[in-house]
Amino acid sequence: MKTLAFICGLILGFGLLLSGMTDPAKVLAFLDIAGPWDPSLILVMASAVLVAFPLIQLASRRRTALLGDAIAFPPRFGIDARLLLGSAIFGVGWGLDGLCPGPSLASLGGMRGAEGLFFIAMLAGMLGFEAWQRNVKASRMARPTAEVS
């Protein structure tokens, strides 16, 4: 199963490289609708949706994946303040640097400084969030509960 995951990751990385999603200048030109806008990444995003949509529909009718793992989808109406804040932070980071997690990982092969710095900052943010969540959970569990008599 790990071999299949590795192969899928290689295919994704190759697709990101081929489509230009690992080129921050191209991504920033796509995001800059007021400047010299480059709409070519719309085709990349549209093709991703066209490929994923029928597969997600198929997966939503199953309980397990083809390799036997459980399939778990997020709640359908799970939009809350945390999701909105996380989306905003993600969008600002994407707009400032022109990279998001998948393309930044694929860009590490080029060993350019900006992409490496972005990846380190992204990793630090993810690890920091996980540590914060563990701390919040631990503090909730440590609170004394009121006894019912």
pLDDT score of 66 more than 60 = yes
pLDDT-derived band at 149 (thresholds 50, 70, 90) equals low
pLDDT score of 147 more than 60 = no
Instruction: Specify whether the CB–CB gap between 67 and 4 falls below 8 A.
Output: yes
| 73-131 pLDDT tens trace | 877 777 888 888 888 888 887 887 777 777 777 777 766 677 777 778 888 888 988 89
What's the helix, strand, coil split of the chain in %, to 5? Answer: 70, 0, 30
* Mean pLDDT (whole number) for 133-143: 84
Structural domain spans, the chain: 2-142
* Mean pLDDT (whole number) for 43-53: 90
